[in-house]
Amino acid sequence: MSMNSADLINNAEKEWVWNETPLLKVRGLSKQFGAGCIHCKQPTSDEQEGSRCQYCGSIWACRNLSFDLYPGEILGVVGESGSGKSTLVKCLYFDEETTVGEMSISSYEDKTSNLFEKSAQQKRYIRNHVMGMVYQNPLLGLRMPISSSGNIAEKLFAADHYHVGSIRQRAADLLQKVEIPLARMDEPPKNFSGGMQQRVQISKALANNPPLLLLDEVTTGLDLSVQAKVLDLIRNIQRELRVAMIVVSHDLGVIRMLADRTMVLRQGLIVEQGLTDQILEDPRHPYTQLLVHSLL
Amino acid sequence: MQTTEQKQNNHKRTFNTAEYNFAFLDEGSKREIRRKSLKAVAIPGYQVAFASREMPIGRGWGTGGLQLTLSLLGRQDTLKVIDQGNDDSVNAVSIRRLVEETSGILTTEETAQASIIQSRHRIPEEKLKFDQILVLQVPQPEPLRKVERREERTRIQHAEMDYSAMWLTLYESIVKWGSITLGADYPVMVHERYIMAPSPIPRWDTEKLHQSHHLTLFGAGREKKIYAIPPYTNVQPLEFEDYPFEVESFDGLSCRHCGSMDSFLDEVVDDEAGITIHQCSDTAYCRQQQERIG
C-alpha cells in the first residue's frame, strides 16, 4: 500500500527512446464463440470459408491473428461490423477469454510470457498497470454516478496509490489535458455530454501512464465537431506521452488521421496490413478496395 | 408476588431440558459449525459459508453469534452476553437464559471471568486474554455489499483483491464531506489480504482487533457466514496516507457514574433538564470502575 507521489506525477515525463523491440506481440490469436464441434476445432485461414461453422453454428470471431505493436506507434484496425475488430481488443484487454493464442508485453515482467495464460489476479494487475481502454460506450468505461475525479482515482487505487492529495492533483492534470474545466472535476460524468464523457474516459484510461492504450470506436456516435476534438486530443496524447495505441474503427477517415499502420480485418482474418497511406492509396485486397472506394 | 428469582426458577422447571442436546444444537450441527470456524481461523478475514440452523430466536437477532457460542460451549465454560455494551438488555438476557437452560453452564457479567463472550456492536473495554473467545453477531458480513450488490461479483473481487470500488466510496466521502463519514462497521484489512466487515462495532473498538490476545469469531446467521480474526493478526482500518483513521473523540467528557475518561461513552439526553449527559457504554466496565473508586 505504499506509494510515491513524486513517481505518480513524474512518470508522465519519462524519457521516451525509440525502441526496435515491439511493445506488444500477438501471435495466433483466435477466439471462438459457441461450443464448437469436430468440424470447427481449428480456425481455417481460408478467406472463402466463412467464420461460422455450418454444422454447429459456432463462430471464429478472430482467426489466427498475429501482429506487433511498437512503442509510441498507433495501429489502426478497420473492417466492417462483425469482422472481429472489437473482439480483438476485448481479448487484448481480457474482457473476453481468448480461445487460443499468445500475447506478450515487453514492459511487463519477463517480457516473453504468454499473458493469456496468467491468473485472473495477474490479468487484473496487467490491465491496471500497463493498459488503458476506451470503450465506444462511456457507460462501460465509467461509473456514471461517481465524480469524474473519482473515476480517475479508481484506476489509481487499482495501481496502489492511496494519497488523496496526489490523486486529486493527478486527476486535475489529466482532466485539464482533456479540456474538462477544473470546476467540474467532482461532477459525475452522467451530467456531461457524450463528447465530454468520452474525454473523461480517455483521461481515466491514461491515469496510470499505461504504455498501451486500446481505443474501440471512440468517436462513433459523436457529432463531427466533437469527433474532431477527440481525435485531436488522441493525437496530442500520442505525441506528448508516446503511448502506443490500437485504434479500432470502421471509419477510414479516423484511421487515416490517426494510424501509422493499419490492419484490415474481414471475417476474423487479417486480409491486408501495411502503412496506412499505402493501404488507402493503393489497396491490394479486393475487400480493402471496396472499403476505400465506398469512402465518401 | 413472586420475585424475579422465583419466576426464573419456575420457568426453568417447565423447560424440559432432557428433550434437548447439551447446548441446544445436535452434535452434528455443532461439529459442522466448529469445522467451519476452524477454516475461518485458518484464513483470517475470509467469509466461510455454513449451514445456518433454525434457532429459537429470529434471524437477524443474533442467530449467527448464538450458533457459534453453542457450538463452542463445554461444560466448564462461563458465558457472558452483551448487547451494545449492556449485560441486562432484553436481547442479552434472553440469549443468556436460553444458553443457561439448555446447557446448565455458568454465566457471568464479569468480563474477566468469562471464557466465551458473545457480543453485539461492542467489544468490552477490558482487554481480553488469550484464553477468552469473543463471538460477535454480524448483520451484514460482506463489506463490499454497499458497493456491489451481487454475491457472485463480490466473491470474485475478494479472490482477486479487487478493492478499488471500496476505496472509491471512501474517496467520494472525502470529496463530498471532507472526511470519511463511516461510523460503525468501519471496513478493515485483515492480514494484508481480505477486507472485512468488523460487525457494527464503533471505530473505537476497531483497533482492539489488531494484534489482540484473544480469538474473535464472527457469525452471520441470516447471511450464513462465519469468519474470524485469530490472535496476533494484523487488522488495519482502511485509510488514506493523508487522511488517517480516527476513532470517536470524547474529549473533555466523562462517565456520569464512574467518571471514566477513557471509555466509549453513550449519550443520554435528559429532556427535563434539557441537557446531554454521558455514561459508559460497557456497563460491566463501568460497575468495575465504580467499585474500584468505592
Contact B163 A155 (CB under 8 A): no
- Report whether pLDDT(B4) > 70: no
From B64, B85, B221, B286, active-site residue: B286
B221 is catalytic: no
A195 domain-assigned:
yes
A123 to chain B: closest CA residue: B160
Interface test mutation site (partner A, options B147, B148, B162, B164, max chain A beta carbons within 10 A): B164
- Report whether pLDDT(A149) > 90: yes
Is A131 in a helix, a strand, or coil? strand
Using a CB–CB cut-off of 8 Å, the residues of A that contact B are 3, 120-121, 124, 143, 146-147, 149-150, 153-155, 157-158, 162-165, 167, 186
Q: Which of B159, B165, B243 sits opposite A164 (nearest CB)?
A: B243
* Residue-wise pLDDT tens digits, B201-257: 999 999 999 999 999 999 999 999 999 999 999 999 999 999 999 999 999 999 999
State the fold for domain B4-142+186-237.
Rossmann fold (3.40.50)
B280 is catalytic: yes
Inter-helix orientation angle B164-177/A164-177, to 10°? 90
A240 domain-assigned:
yes
DSSP B213: S
Mean pLDDT (chain A) is 87
Q: Which of B159, B168, B243 sits opposite A146 (nearest CB)?
A: B168
What pLDDT, on a 0 to 100 scale, did the predictor assign at position A294? 81
Q: Which of A120, A154, A186 sits opposite B168 (nearest CB)?
A: A154
What pLDDT, on a 0 to 100 scale, did the predictor assign at position A1? 42
Domain count, chain A: 1
Is B209 in a helix, a strand, or coil? helix
Q: Which residues in B19-40 are b (16+ Cβ under 10 Å) and which e?
A: eebbbbbeeebbebbeebbebb
Residue ranges of chain B that CATH labels 3.40.50.11310 = 4-142+186-237
Portion of chain B with pLDDT greater than 90, in percent: 81
Is A133 in a helix, a strand, or coil? strand
> What is the DSSP pairing of strand B106-107 with strand A74-78?
unpaired
- Report whether pLDDT(A15) > 70: no
A157 to chain B: closest CA residue: B164
Name the band, by pLDDT with cuts 50, 70 and 90, for residue A9: very low
Name the band, by pLDDT with cuts 50, 70 and 90, for residue A296: low
* Residue-wise pLDDT tens digits, A230-285: 888 888 888 888 899 999 998 888 999 999 999 999 999 999 999 999 999 999 99
ipTM: 0.80
Quote the CA–CA distance of A184 and A151 in Å, as a whole number.
13
A11 domain-assigned:
no
What pLDDT, on a 0 to 100 scale, did the predictor assign at position A44? 81
Quote the CA–CA distance of B79 and B71 in Å, as a whole number.
13
What pLDDT, on a 0 to 100 scale, did the predictor assign at position B183? 87
B162 to chain A: closest CA residue: A158
A10 domain-assigned:
no
What pLDDT, on a 0 to 100 scale, did the predictor assign at position A104? 92
Its domain, for residue A254, covers 23-293
B45 is catalytic: yes
Q: Closest Cα partner for A153 from A137, A176, A169?
A: A169
What pLDDT, on a 0 to 100 scale, did the predictor assign at position A12? 43
CATH, residue A133? 3.40.50.300
CB-based contact (8 Å) between B175 and chain A? yes
Single-letter residue type at A135: Y
